[in-house]
Chain A
Amino acid sequence: AQKVTQAQTEISVVEKEDVTLDCVYETRDTTYYLFWYKQPPSGELVFLIRRNSFDEQNEISGRYSWNFQKSTSSFNFTITASQVVDSAVYFCALNAPGDGANNLFFGTGTRLTVIP
């Protein structure tokens, strides 16, 4: 079975603060892929990152960084120096094709509000 847990339902930060969004996943498959998507008020999900299970290197892209730790089954997302435009719902997702699933399993999302 596959499961993604985003325990933080809503987070509010003041602009320029750093914020970390947590994601914990469950799968019995040894080959899997993890994703983060951003859903702004417009509703369209925007792809942010994909990570496969064999690559535990952390990644940084501008103000965004991701910390993948297989030992704790976590794939956390940090935004540095947050901006108002970062306000959105962020979804973590998992795909484990060895389980026969073609689709993404999503967490329930974390709503981030950045206060100016």
Chain B
Amino acid sequence: GAGVSQSPSNKVTEKGKDVELRCDPISGHTALYWYRQSLGQGLEFLIYFQGNSAPDKSGLPSDRFSAERTGGSVSTLTIQRTQQEDSAVYLCASSASSSRVFKNIQYFGAGTRLSVL
């Protein structure tokens, strides 16, 4: 597609359930990022994938959060045993960056709004 696509756009779940959020980056973009935006807050970095390199997981808030990227394209962010504090908008971005020196622009999807009841 023309831009970064995320699904679902909205997700309501019960506390304790697992959820999966999907991101389809811009075709050809090697770098993919997940961020979390809580109400009234800026964006908080979660995880970064670059090509076939090991992901940078330094932003994941707990071991309940994990992500994978299959075939260097689509990514899935999984939250296990969801808690109410996980409620937020989860944003995915991709960029054409292929070098260690970040200099390319991140293009964002519209996000998935997660509500944990």
Contacts and interface: CB of A to CB of B under 8 A. Distances in A.
Nearest to B40: A108
Interface in B57-113: 59, 89, 91, 93, 100-103, 105-111, 113
Interface residues of B, number: 28
Interface string A22-42: 000000000101010100001
Contacts of B103: 33, 52, 97
Contacts of B33: 102-104
Contacts, number: 60
Contact of A45 (B31, B56, B91): B91
Contacts of B111: 43-44
Contacts of B100: 97
Contacts of B48: 102-103
Contacts of B102: 33, 95, 97, 102
A97 B31 CA distance: 14
A53 B109 CA distance: 27
Contact of A108 (B31, B42, B101, B110): B42
Interface of A: 4, 31, 33, 35, 37, 42-47, 50, 52, 91, 93, 95, 97, 102-109
Closest 10 CB pairs of A and B: A103-B45, A106-B42, A45-B108, A44-B110, A106-B43, A108-B42, A97-B102, A102-B48, A43-B110, A95-B102
